[in-house]
Amino acid sequence: MPDGNAYDQAYYAMSRPEAGRKSLVDTLRDRYIRRHVLRFRQTGRLLDIGCGLGLFLQSMTPPFEPFGTDISAYAVAQAQQRMPNAKLFVGSILDGIPFSVNFDVITAINVVEHLEQPALAVAAIRERLQLGGLFVAHLPTIGNRLQARIYRGSYDADPTHIYRPSGREFRGVAEAAGFKTVFETYSPFAPALLWRNLPWHPAYLAIFQAR
């Protein structure tokens, strides 16, 4: 996993004109995640791991009380300016969750693929979720030849993508840590049943519930 300084340079350089704005694809994805989270939880504490500039976390506030972590000090500082009341921390999920409270929802969007020990991170997430709480994961996966081909033409250009499971393999990691799968699909996400059965794109989205 890259350190915070390297991540700042690669992703959050202040000279980038698009810094602080989401692409249309990311905006639609985040709206989709919000809608499905609200199917299961309508309020409570939400921790966004890898919160970046705080754009997704802000979209979930209200109804949720916002918490966030990121390895980038620059990103956390920008997120704190955007959300002065949010509780934010600079650090890696592999070092554990730094807050003393338990959560109703923990999200990790485009995070797990950067981790050398994803199972350790998932176990830490399970430990800090309320019984019945939600773990939302979004990550690129490789489960068939078409996904592998698309991955090579896009995600593989990022050298920090070091974890390349299939969706099924990652679901197994989550379930082994004490979760049950309550929702899963692949990009373009809707209709979920179709793309769950015909996974052609690497982007995998799942909601797991703490048992």
Q: What is the pLDDT of residues 193-204, one digit of tens each?
A: 999 999 999 999
How far CA 23 is from CA of 18, 44, 55, 57, in Å, comes to 9, 28, 11, 16
DSSP letter for each residue of 177-206: TTEEEEEEEETT-SSHHHHHHS--SSEEEE
Rounded CA separation 121/93 (Å): 6
Q: What is the pLDDT of residues 93-126, one digit of tens each?
A: 999 999 999 999 999 999 999 999 999 999 999 9
Please give the structure tokens belonging to residue 7: 């991540």
Contact 151, 164 (CB under 8 A): yes
Angle between helices 73-82 and 4-11 (to 10 degrees): 70
The whole-number pLDDT of residue 16 equals 45
How far CA 30 is from CA of 22, 50, 124, 175, in Å, comes to 10, 14, 23, 24
Contact 195, 187 (CB under 8 A): yes
Confidence label for 22 from pLDDT (cuts 50, 70 and 90): confident
Q: Peptide bond preceding 140: is omega within 30 degrees of 0, i.e. cis? A: no
Rounded CA separation 192/169 (Å): 19
Confidence label for 18 from pLDDT (cuts 50, 70 and 90): very low
DSSP letter for each residue of the chain: ---HHHHHHHH--TT-TTTT---HHHHHHHHHHHHHHHHH-SSEEEEEET-TTSHHHHHTTTTEEEEEEES-HHHHHHHHHH-TTSEEEE--GGG----SS-EEEEEEES-GGG-S-HHHHHHHHHHTEEEEEEEEEEEE---SHHHHHHHHTTGGG-TT------HHHHHHHHHHTTEEEEEEEETT-SSHHHHHHS--SSEEEEEEEE-
Q: What is the pLDDT of residues 28-75, one digit of tens each?
A: 999 999 999 999 999 999 999 999 999 999 999 999 999 999 999 999
Confidence label for 1 from pLDDT (cuts 50, 70 and 90): low
The whole-number pLDDT of residue 10 equals 55
